[in-house]
Chain A
Amino acid sequence: MNNSLLKSGWIHALVMGLIAYPLASIVDKLVAVNKDVNILAFTCLMMLSSSFILLVIAGPGKLTKESLKTPHTWIYGILETITVAVGIMIMVYISATEAAALSRTTAFFALGISLLFLNQSVNKIELIGSGFLIFGFMFVINGMDIPIETKGLVILLIIVKNILQASKKITAEVHKTNRKSKTFKEDLRIVGIVMGVTSVIVSTTFILLAVFQNSYNLTIHKDIPTIMDFLNFKTFVLAFISGIILLSLNKYLEFYVSKTLGAKYLMAMASLQLVGVYFLEVILSNFGILEMKVFSPESILALSIIFIGNIIIAMSGFMKDLSFIRRGEKQDTLANLDGNFIEEEDDFDLVKLNLANLLNLYNTDSKKLSTDIEIDRIVLDNIVNYNYGEFKIENKIAKKINDFASQHVATKDKLTKAHNRYYLDHLVDSLFKKNQLFNLYYLDLNKFKPINDEHGHEVGDHVLAETVAKLNDLESFKNLVFRVGGDEFVLLQVGNIEQKLENIITQTIEVPVQYQEIPLEISTSIGQVSSENYDNLEDMLKDADRLMFEHKKSKGVNR
C-alpha cells in the first residue's frame, strides 16, 4: 500500500461520511414517508439497480469470475440479508433515532473483530474512543422506553445487528478480489458483482418469506413485502434512481475505504453522517421538502457521546496514517494491499529461474538449500512445481531467493560449480585492499584433451566437475577454487602461506576419476606465485601462467 492510496482512502472516507451516506439517509427518510413504498422491496430493487449500473460502467475484464466465486462475496450477501432482517425486527421496539445512534457504535465491534480475527492492534486512543462508544450505547439502551421483559431480547438483537454490520465491513476489508484490484474499473466491477449476489440473496429471501406469508395467510412481520410491493411502479422508479446514483456510489466508497483504511476506521468515519444529515435536513426543511426532526436533550447527549467516540477512533487512525504519509513509508498493517506477494509474471519467472539455478548449484538438494537460505522447503518445492497464477510468492521470500542467487549463482561457473573469473577479481581485490597475503596456484590439466576426444564432452565435463569437487574438499582451498579457462583453474591459499601445497594439489588431481567404472587419469601442471611481490591480479596470473608452462615443459607435456 503506498501513501497515495492511504491519502485517497481518507478522502474517500470523508466524501462517504459527509456526502454519500447523508444523502442516502435522507433519501431513505423521504421514501419512508411514502406509505405505498415498502422499504424492504425498495432496498432489494435498489441493490439490483446499483449492481447493474456498476457492472455497466466497469465493463468486462479481470477478476469477474474470481469475485463471483470467492466466498467473501457470498458471505457479504448473507450477512447483508441477516442484517436487514434483524434491523426490521429491532425497529418494532426502538425509535429511528435510537436505531441511528446505536448503529453508530459499530466501530467498537469492528475494533473487537479486527483485534480478534485480523491481528490488528488497538491503541490507547482507540480504547478511549471505544469507552465513549460503550458509554453512549449504554446511555441509549437505558433511555429506551420498552418493557423490562423484552429489553433483554432487544439488547441482544442490537448487539447481534452491530456484530453483523461490523462483520460485513470486515468482509469487505478482507474480500479477496477487492484487495487484489488495482484500477477504478476493477473496483467497480468487484462491487458490482458483490451487490449483484447480495441483491439476489436478499430478494430471494424476502420473496420466499412473502410467498410463505401469502400461502399460509400468516404475518411474520408487517414490513415483509408482498409480491405486489416488488411490482409497485413508484417503488421501482425510486429504487432504480437511488440505486444507480446513491447506493452504487456508497458501496464503491465503502469497499474502497474498507480495503484502504480498514473496517474500524470506515465505521468511525461513517459517524460523520450525523453532521451531514443535520445540514441536509436544515437545507431541505427550509425548502419545505422535509420536516426537521426535533431531538430530545437525552438523544442529543447520546448522539454526541457516540459521535465523539467515533471521531476519537477516526483521528487515531488518521494521525497514524498521517505520520506514514509524511515519512513516505509504507504501512505494515496494510502491506497485503501493495502485494505481500509478487504480482508481475516476469518477477515470478525470475524467482523461479534463480531458484532453479540454486538447486542446480546444490545438486537438487532442496533440503540443504532450504537450511542455507532459511526458507521452508515446502515453499521452495511449491515455487519449483507451480507456475504464475497457480501459486503466490511472498515478496520477502522472492527477495531472499534473488539475493541468495546473486551471491552464489552469479559468482559460480555453472558446469563445475567453481567460482568464476568475476569473483576471482573481486576477491583478490579485497585481499590486496586488506593487505592480506596469499598464494595463487595456476593449474592446467594435462591429458584432458584426449579424454574429451576419446570419450566425448559429456565425460570431459564430468572430469572437470569431479576435479573441482576434489579440490574443494581440500581444507586449504574450500570455496577458493576458480575456473579461469576451459581446463584451467586458479586456487587461492589464504593463511598459512609458508606451506606450499603443489604436491598435495598434484596428488589430489592424479587420483583417477571414475566414469561408469572407467578410471580416467589426468594430471596437472602448476605455477605458483605469492602476493607479497605483487599489487594486482593481472601480473600474478601472467607470472603464474608462465611458471605453469615451464612446469608443463619440464614434465614433457604439450600444452
Chain B
Amino acid sequence: MAVLPAGSNVYGADFPPSQFDQDWTTILNITTTTYVAGTPEVAVSMTAPSSGKVLVCMGCGIRNNAATTERAIVTYQIFEDSLNGAVFSAPLDDRGVKSCGIAVSQEYQYHGNMDLITGLTPGRSYYFQVVHLSLAGAGTVDIASRNIMVIPVP
C-alpha cells in the first residue's frame, strides 16, 4: 500500500453511489386518497453513508384537468432494508410536490423538491419509494412524470 503523504485528503469509504430512477408513464384520473406507488413503481435502494444523511431530490409533472381546486401530492416513503422492511419514514407532503389547487384546468406543471434525510444507520440499506395521492379523490388529477434521486452527503 502506498505511503500517504502529509496534506493528502483522507476520505472514509463512506460515499456509496448516488441512485436515480424515473418514469414518464402517465397516471390519469387519480382517485386514491391514500398514498400508492403507482405503476410502474419509481424507487431506489441506497446504502446509508457514515454520516447517516442523504439528500433526496424528487420531481414530477402534475395537473388538475378540471376547473376545481383538486390537488395531487407526489412524495416518497422510506423503508429499512427493502420494500418489505419496516417503515423508516412515512410519506410527508412537505418534502414532496403538492399542486396549486387553483380552480382552473391546468396543463402539466413540473416541479421538484429536496430534503435532507437524517438519522439513517450507516451501512444499512434503505428503500426510497415514490408515492402519490389526490386530496379529494375526484378523479381529475393526472401525473405525467415522476423521478427520484438519492445522494449520500456529509
Determine if chain A interacts with chain B.
Answer: no
